[in-house]
Chains A and B, each alone.
Chain A
C-alpha cells in the first residue's frame, strides 16, 4: 500500500515484534526439551509437539514425564529441601531477587516466547504477564527476608507440587514458585502441555540466578504426569490453578493424606454496571475484563449485569467499541486479541456459544477481519441471557460476554451471587456508597470498583465457593506455603473409646431429662424420634440424647443459612458482647458444668473446674478476637487502595472431638461465631451432654436464633451429611483419621473449605494451639476490594 493511499484511508498496517532471538533459542533445542531435575536437564524421549496456535507451526518437542522422572524430581527436591529450608532468610531473599532481576533483564525474550507458545498478544505478555511475574519475585524476595520476624510461628512445608494452566503460563509459574521458595519449600512444577516453553526457559534462569540444584524442578507432560505429582507420597502440598472439575479431582486424590491443598479454579464473574457509571469507561473495563487474553482468564468479567434503563445505551457503546477491535498475529504490536490457545479450546467456545443461542441468547459479533488460519475467535456479545441460560452458568473461557439486566441494587446482588462460582466482580458506579455496599455483599474473593483485572503481588488472589480456596499474593498467600510450628499432636487420640455399658444399671431418679436438638434457637425433637444412651466413664447410663439423622442436619443447616446474612452483618462489637455474655453465664453455672464433666469423663473435681475455667477464658479470648482480626489496606503500585477484608465463610459445620469435650467445643464454636459464621455443631459423641447443656446457655446469652445449631447423634453419619451439604461453606472435622478423609472426599460437591485433624489430638489448653489466628483464618476468607481513586 502506498503512502498516498494510506494518507487517504488511514489504516494501521502491520507492526510485528521481532522473534528472531527466540527462534534462534528454539533452534538450539530442536532435538527436544528434557525435564529440569536436580539442576540438570534429563531427557526421556516420549515427545509431543508444542505448537503456535496462531498458525499451527510446531515450535518444539516436549517430553512426557513418567513415574521415573516424577520420582527423580521429588527426590531431588527433598534432598535440596534439607539445606534450602535452613538457609538464612537473607540468602533465600537474594536468590528470589536474582530471579526477579533476571526476568526483567530478559523480559522481552520471555514475552515473545510466551506469545509464540500461547497465542496471546505481545502487548499483553510485554505489559502485563512478564512485569507482573517479576513483581511477584520482588515481592516474595521481601517475604523471604522478613520470614523469621513476621511469620515467626510458621515453618515451611517440604516438597510442593505445582500444576499450572495454559492461560498465563509464566505468570502462574511466578505466582506459584515465588511464595513457595520464599517460605523455604522446594518445588516440582508442571506447566500445561500446550504451553511449557516459558517454564523451561525459566529453568535456565534458575541456573543463572544460582538457585541451588533441586530447589526448583520443572517437569513436563499431560494430565497423567500431574497425577503422578499429586499422588507422590513425599509431596506435602499441592497448588493448582485450572478448571473446577480437575480441582475436584485433586481434592479427592489428596483427601486424608494430610497434604495441604490450594485451588484456584474457574469463575463466572459478574461485571455490574449501574446507571450512574461512566459508561464509556465501563466499556473499556469490559475490554480489560472479558476481552483480555481472549477471555481465557479465570477472573474474566464474563457476565455483564446492567441496570435495565441504560442497557440499550451500554450495548450500543460496546458494539461500537468492538467494531474497532483488531484480531490477528499475536506478535503484532497493534492487536487487541490474539489466538485462542488450542483448537480444542476453540471448538469448546464455539459449541458453548451455540448452546447459549439454543437457550435463547442473541449472538452478536462485530464485522471485523478475522484471520482465516489459526485459532481465532471474535469478541462476542450474547444478549438476552437469562440466569437460566447455560452460558450464564458455565464458564466459557473465551471472548464471550453474556448480558443480563437488573432492576436495582438488591436485584443486582442477587443475580451476581446466583452462581456456583465466586472469584471476582467488577462494580461500576460513580457513587462510592453504592459501590461499597455492593462490594460487601458480593460473594467473591476479588472486587474491582470501576476497574477490571487489576492484579498485584501484595493483594491476595483467589476465590469463594467453587472458584477454589487459598490465596496467591499478600500475607494470605504466604500462609498457603507455611504451617504453624505448633499444630497437631501425632498421637491419634482425639477420640475416646466408647464406654462399655455396665451390667448393673441403676434406675434413674428424678424427672426425665432427654434433651432434644437445638435448631434455629429452639429445641426440636429429633426427626427420627429415636435417642441414644449416654454412659459415664464407668459405663453407667447418665442420660439419653437425640439420635440425629440427615433431616435434622438439613433443618439445622436451613436455620443456620437463614440467619447467616444477618449474623454476618452484625458488628464485631456485638459478636464480642455475645461471647462475653456466654462467658459470664458459663461462669455463673461453672459448678453445674464441672459436675457434668466429672460425671461424664471421670475427671477429678480439680480437672473439671480447670476445664470450665479454661473454657470461660477461651470465650474471652474469642470475644477479644472478634473485633481485632482486622483486614489490611494494601497500596498496590497504582493510584489505588485495596481493602483486604476478612469475611466469614458463611455456614459452617463443626464436628467436635472427645478430648476435653467442653473446652474443645468452645474452642471451635467461639472463633467461628466471633468471625460471623453461623454453624451446625455436632458435640462430642462420647460426651454429648456437654453439648446439650449448652442450649440454655445459648438461650440466656442473647445468641441470635440460628447462629449455633446443635445436633447430637452418630458422628460419622452426621459428618458425612454436613460434608456433602452444598449449603455448607466450611467444615471443621475433628474426629477419626478415616472420618477426616471422608470429610475431604465428600466436600468436593461445592468445594467447601475443610479443616480436619486426621485423627490427631490437639493441645486445647495451650493458647497457642487452642485459639488465635490459625482458628480465625480457617473460618474466614479474604476479599480484596480494589478502589482506584482520583478526580
Chain B
C-alpha cells in the first residue's frame, strides 16, 4: 500500500485527499514497544557544549508562546508579544557567539478576542499569530458557530488556527464524521494554516491517536497537535512518537509534509531537546523548522533561558534574571 512518493515541492501545503478507510484500518500500534522506544531514545542521544546551545536556540525558535486564560488583557498579550520578538536576552546571545541572530519564537497563540492586539504588537516581526478556535477547548459549541469563529479569527489577522476535533467521533470510531468535520474546518481556514488538536489524553488508546492523526491529515490538516494544554493528560513522548510516525507514513504515501505540535507538558529544556532529537530521528532535519514543528508551551522558554545563561557564564541562573513574557 506504500504509494510512490510524489516528488512534490517540499513547501507544498497539504491538501485534502479522498477519504480512504484502509489507511486507518491497517494501523497497528503496540504501546509497550512504543514506550520502550521512548525509554531508549532518551538514553541514545545527547547534545553537549555548542551543540546544546544551538539546539536550545532551535527550541526557542519553534515555541508557540501561549496565553489562554480568562484574565488575558491587551496589556498581558502585548507583553507576551514583546517576549516573542526578543525571547532571549541580547547579552546572552552575544556571549554565546550569535549576536546577530534574528531569534524569535515560532508564533504567539491566543484566544480570538486577543488576535487583533497580537497582530498589531507583532507587526513587522514576521511572527505569526495563532488563534485557538472551534469552541476551544471542548469543541462542543454549535458547529456553524465553530466555523464562524475560524473565519472571524482569520479575518482578524490570525495566520494559524488551532482547531479542536470532536473527540466523540474518535471514541465511536466514526472516521467519516471526523474527516468531514476536519475538511470543513480546513475550508473555513482558507489561507490560514490549520492545526488539528486531537486531545490525545481523551482518546482512550494510542491506536486511536494514530488513527485520528491519519484521518485529520487526509482531511487537509497542516499540523497535528497533541492536546489543548488543558486536558488531564497533555503531550507525552509515546503519543508524540506515534503522531510523528503517522506524519512520516502520510509523507511517504502522499509526499506532503505535515507539521507536529506537542502542547502542554513540555516545560523543561531537557525534555524539549528530547523532543527535537526524536523529530530528527523519526522525521529528519527537514522537520526541525517552525514550518513543521512547534512547542505549545508557556513556561518552557524560561527554563531554556536559564540553561542558555548557564552555558554563557558557567554559573547556574535564576528566573528573575530573565524578562517575563
* A interface residues, Cβ below 8 angstroms from B: 1-7, 9-15, 123, 126-127, 276-282, 284-285, 287-288, 312-313, 316, 324, 333-334, 336, 428, 430, 450-451, 639-640, 788-791
**Cβ contact within 8 Å between B50 and A1:** yes
The winner among A11, A276, A313 for most chain B CB atoms within 10 A is: A11
User: How far apart sit A612 and B288, CA to CA, in the bound complex (Å)?
Assistant: 81
Is B158 close to A, CB under 8 A? Answer: no
**Cβ contact within 8 Å between A15 and B47:** yes
**Cβ contact within 8 Å between A13 and B49:** yes
**Cβ contact within 8 Å between B44 and A281:** no
The winner among A282, A312, A790 for most chain B CB atoms within 10 A is: A790
- A334 in complex: contacting residue of B35, B40, B46, B96, CB < 8 Å: B46
- What A residues does B36 contact at CB under 8 A? 284, 288, 451
Apart from A1-B51, A7-B54, A123-B43: 4 A-B pairs, beta carbons within 8 A: A3-B54, A5-B54, A640-B32, A790-B31
Is B205 close to A, CB under 8 A? Answer: yes
- A2 in complex: contacting residue of B97, B206, B280, CB < 8 Å: B97
- What B residues does A13 contact at CB under 8 A? 47-51
- What A residues does B205 contact at CB under 8 A? 791
Main secondary structure of the interface of B (DSSP, over half): helix
**Cβ contact within 8 Å between A450 and B57:** no
Quick one: closest A residue to B58, CB to CB?
A7
The winner among B51, B55, B96, B285 for most chain A CB atoms within 10 A is: B51
- What B residues does A324 contact at CB under 8 A? 281
| B152 CB to nearest chain A CB (Å) | 37
Shortest 3 CB-CB distances between A and B: which pairs?
A13-B51, A281-B33, A6-B54
**Cβ contact within 8 Å between A281 and B34:** yes
User: How far apart sit A264 and B53, CA to CA, in the bound complex (Å)?
Assistant: 48
User: How far apart sit A3 and B96, CA to CA, in the bound complex (Å)?
Assistant: 8
Is B207 close to A, CB under 8 A? Answer: yes
**Cβ contact within 8 Å between B285 and A3:** no
Quick one: closest A residue to B100, CB to CB?
A4
- What A residues does B245 contact at CB under 8 A? 280
Quick one: closest B residue to A283, CB to CB?
B37
**Cβ contact within 8 Å between B101 and A4:** yes
| 22 A/B residue pairs, CB under 8 Å, sorted by A | A1-B50, A3-B50, A3-B96, A3-B97, A4-B54, A4-B98, A6-B53, A7-B58, A12-B277, A13-B49, A15-B46, A15-B47, A280-B245, A284-B40, A285-B33, A288-B40, A316-B2, A333-B46, A334-B45, A336-B44, A788-B32, A790-B35
| B67 CB to nearest chain A CB (Å) | 27
- B2 in complex: contacting residue of A288, A313, A450, CB < 8 Å: A313
- What B residues does A279 contact at CB under 8 A? 28
Is B141 close to A, CB under 8 A? Answer: no
| B250 CB to nearest chain A CB (Å) | 13
User: How far apart sit A324 and B57, CA to CA, in the bound complex (Å)?
Assistant: 23
Is B18 close to A, CB under 8 A? Answer: no
User: How far apart sit A285 and B33, CA to CA, in the bound complex (Å)?
Assistant: 8
- What B residues does A282 contact at CB under 8 A? 33
**Cβ contact within 8 Å between A281 and B37:** yes
Contact with A along B74-99 (1 / 0, CB 8 A): 00000000000000000000001110
Which of chain B's residues 1-45 have a Cβ closer than 8 Å to chain A? 1-2, 28-37, 40, 43-45
| B237 CB to nearest chain A CB (Å) | 14
**Cβ contact within 8 Å between A281 and B288:** no
Quick one: closest A residue to B277, CB to CB?
A12
Quick one: closest A residue to B45, CB to CB?
A334
- B28 in complex: contacting residue of A2, A15, A284, A430, CB < 8 Å: A430
**Cβ contact within 8 Å between A10 and B55:** yes
The winner among A123, A278, A312, A324 for most chain B CB atoms within 10 A is: A278
| B209 CB to nearest chain A CB (Å) | 12
* B interface residues, Cβ below 8 angstroms from A: 1-2, 28-37, 40, 43-51, 53-55, 57-58, 96-98, 101, 205-207, 245, 276-277, 280-281, 285, 288
- What B residues does A7 contact at CB under 8 A? 54, 57-58, 98, 101
User: How far apart sit A790 and B2, CA to CA, in the bound complex (Å)?
Assistant: 28
| A46 CB to nearest chain B CB (Å) | 40
User: How far apart sit A121 and B43, CA to CA, in the bound complex (Å)?
Assistant: 11
Quick one: closest B residue to A431, CB to CB?
B28
Task: Say yes or no: A6-B30 contact (C-beta < 8 A), given A12-B45, A281-B37.
Answer: no
User: How far apart sit A14 and B34, CA to CA, in the bound complex (Å)?
Assistant: 27
- What A residues does B281 contact at CB under 8 A? 324
| B17 CB to nearest chain A CB (Å) | 20
| B248 CB to nearest chain A CB (Å) | 8
User: How far apart sit A7 and B31, CA to CA, in the bound complex (Å)?
Assistant: 33
- B57 in complex: contacting residue of A3, A15, A278, A288, CB < 8 Å: A3
| B33 CB to nearest chain A CB (Å) | 3
- What A residues does B98 contact at CB under 8 A? 3-4, 7
User: How far apart sit A373 and B135, CA to CA, in the bound complex (Å)?
Assistant: 61
Quick one: closest B residue to A790, CB to CB?
B31
| B61 CB to nearest chain A CB (Å) | 8
- What B residues does A312 contact at CB under 8 A? 2
| B90 CB to nearest chain A CB (Å) | 15
| A699 CB to nearest chain B CB (Å) | 50
Task: Say yes or no: A9-B285 contact (C-beta < 8 A), given A14-B48, A123-B44.
Answer: yes
**Cβ contact within 8 Å between A791 and B207:** yes
Task: Say yes or no: A10-B285 contact (C-beta < 8 A), given A334-B45, A450-B30.
Answer: yes
- What A residues does B49 contact at CB under 8 A? 13
**Cβ contact within 8 Å between B28 and A277:** yes
- What B residues does A12 contact at CB under 8 A? 45-47, 51, 277
Task: Say yes or no: A281-B30 contact (C-beta < 8 A), given A313-B2, A451-B36.
Answer: yes
| A316 CB to nearest chain B CB (Å) | 7
**Cβ contact within 8 Å between B51 and A451:** no
- What A residues does B32 contact at CB under 8 A? 450-451, 639-640, 788-790
- What B residues does A6 contact at CB under 8 A? 50-51, 53-55
- What A residues does B276 contact at CB under 8 A? 10
Quick one: closest B residue to A5, CB to CB?
B54
- B37 in complex: contacting residue of A5, A277, A284, CB < 8 Å: A284
User: How far apart sit A14 and B52, CA to CA, in the bound complex (Å)?
Assistant: 11
User: How far apart sit A701 and B285, CA to CA, in the bound complex (Å)?
Assistant: 72
| A311 CB to nearest chain B CB (Å) | 12
| A490 CB to nearest chain B CB (Å) | 52
Task: Say yes or no: A278-B43 contact (C-beta < 8 A), given A4-B101, A13-B49, A324-B281.
Answer: no
| A725 CB to nearest chain B CB (Å) | 41
- What A residues does B29 contact at CB under 8 A? 278, 281
- What B residues does A15 contact at CB under 8 A? 46-48
- What A residues does B207 contact at CB under 8 A? 791
Task: Say yes or no: A10-B31 contact (C-beta < 8 A), given A3-B53, A333-B46.
Answer: no
- B44 in complex: contacting residue of A5, A14, A334, CB < 8 Å: A334
**Cβ contact within 8 Å between B51 and A11:** yes
| B235 CB to nearest chain A CB (Å) | 19
Quick one: closest B residue to A287, CB to CB?
B40
**Cβ contact within 8 Å between B50 and A791:** no
- What B residues does A336 contact at CB under 8 A? 44
| A377 CB to nearest chain B CB (Å) | 19
- What B residues does A4 contact at CB under 8 A? 54, 97-98, 101
- What A residues does B280 contact at CB under 8 A? 10
Task: Say yes or no: A791-B31 contact (C-beta < 8 A), given A10-B288, A15-B48.
Answer: yes
| A668 CB to nearest chain B CB (Å) | 43
Quick one: closest A residue to B279, CB to CB?
A10
Quick one: closest B residue to A15, CB to CB?
B46
Quick one: closest A residue to B244, CB to CB?
A280
User: How far apart sit A281 and B2, CA to CA, in the bound complex (Å)?
Assistant: 18
The winner among B1, B31, B40, B54 for most chain A CB atoms within 10 A is: B54
- What A residues does B30 contact at CB under 8 A? 277-278, 281, 428, 430, 450
- What A residues does B54 contact at CB under 8 A? 3-7, 10
User: How far apart sit A15 and B288, CA to CA, in the bound complex (Å)?
Assistant: 21
User: How far apart sit A790 and B57, CA to CA, in the bound complex (Å)?
Assistant: 37
**Cβ contact within 8 Å between B44 and A284:** no
**Cβ contact within 8 Å between B28 and A278:** yes
| A331 CB to nearest chain B CB (Å) | 12
User: How far apart sit A611 and B201, CA to CA, in the bound complex (Å)?
Assistant: 70
